[in-house]
Amino acid sequence: MSSNYRAQAGLAVHGPGPWRNRGPLTPAPSVRRWWARILDAVFVLLFSGLVIGIALALTTVNIISIDDAAKVALISYPLMALVFGALYGCTLSLGQVLCGVVTLKHSGRRVGLWRGMTRYLAVAFFPITVVLLIWILFDAPTMDLDPIDVYYRRPPQAW
């Protein structure tokens, strides 16, 4: 890679941040960034609920089985998180469009498909992980139960 790579790529060499449309971009306030994230989470939940609702409606009129509706319900949330993560990484997510912000690397490029998808998937499963941990803690067995021992299936052979 050449030493003047940033100049060849059309990225800002000097200035406060990345340049777009022949002008520097100023950093967005944290309130707008958080509202963009909150709106993205709402859209993920909304579209997941829409897909689940359609699957349940198709179940009630006997077009698909309840097993298929359960599969759709289980896959819709991670799938929507991946779709919105891809939008976040490659273009703009809906929350960013509504809040007027954009997420870029320090070099001025987009975050990227895989980083956006994995980030949204990790954020999407964080609340579920917390709920499962709390559930496990409250549902854990008490300490006064009988201890568990491990035995051979048959007596050991004498040498």
pLDDT in single tens digits along all 159 residues of the chain: 555 545 445 554 555 566 666 667 788 888 998 898 899 989 999 999 999 999 999 999 999 999 999 999 999 999 999 999 999 999 888 999 999 888 888 777 888 899 989 989 888 888 888 888 888 888 766 556 666 677 777 777 776
Q: pTM for this structure?
A: 0.68
Between CA 136 and CA 113 the distance in angstroms is 34
Which residue in 92, 90, 107, 88 sits closest to 10, CA to CA? 107
Domain boundaries, the chain: 30-127
Between CA 29 and CA 113 the distance in angstroms is 24
Is 151 in contact with 128 (CB distance < 8 Å)? no
